[in-house]
Chain A
Amino acid sequence: MACFLVSAGEAAVVSIVKKSVEKKEASGKEHSKKEGAAKEISLSTKLHWLSSLLLGGAVLLAFEHVWHGEVVPWFPFLTAMSDPGDAAEMLQEMGTVGVGMAALITAVWAVMCKAADVIVKRPEQEAQKDAAA
């Protein structure tokens, strides 16, 4: 009914956090350059992945809701909002399916970040050996 709103909300929060992290990283860049820090994926890049996954999914799911007539271009935009019974059902769906969707995407993103860190830190020789196999 409106499960995509949970992911869209999380995407908005993540985007705000990403902006502040980007600012912090930009100010700390000079310092890390001097120290010659090892190459690693920045937190802002990882947060960009999460917001893209959440927002991408939310946009395509919003289209599905338009397709099924659950989202309309006039107020209150969600057809379930016009009836209190439907509104309660919608909120319950957001709390179960919606939260489940956001949680799965966040969990997959966490695994993706861990895997990306391992791949980046993997020695070049090992990567070539893997490619040859």
Chain B
Amino acid sequence: MTLLITIFAAVTATVKWYNRKNDDMRLGTLCFLYWGASLMWLVDAIFEFAELKSAYFTPDPQDMLNDAFLGLSVVALGLIIWVVRLLIADPKGSVRAALRKG
């Protein structure tokens, strides 16, 4: 479930990156974060499948819920890292302008 949620986040970020007007939003950071995690969880899933065989596809509902919650938390953490990097890099100069105004 964590793998699936991260893959959906990675694909969404990639589509957004592809349709970008310019590089101001630094969407590449999000793509690298989610694709990196997706690939790593894919390997984890392959090893788990090799161990559990078909039982891998019939997880306990409690485990599935926990994994889904983890997946959403991972997506949220990725977004936080991206937004913090964006604000620090400040490619549009919005933060600088706001701070100078205040």
Chain A residues in the interface with B (C-beta under 8 A): 3-4, 7, 49, 52-61, 63-64, 67, 96-97, 100-101, 104-105, 108
Contact = CB atoms under 8 A, between A and B. Distances in A.
Give the dominant DSSP class at A's interface: helix
Interface in B72-92: 73-74, 77-78, 81
29 contacts: A3-B40, A3-B44, A4-B40, A52-B36, A53-B32, A53-B35, A53-B36, A53-B39, A56-B32, A56-B34, A57-B35, A57-B39, A59-B33, A59-B81, A60-B34, A60-B74, A63-B77, A64-B2, A97-B43, A97-B44, A100-B43, A100-B46, A100-B47, A101-B40, A101-B43, A101-B44, A104-B40, A105-B36, A105-B40
Residues of B in contact with A, size category = 20 to 34
A101 to B, nearest CB: 4
B9 to A, nearest CB: 10
Nearest to A96: B47
B42 interface: yes
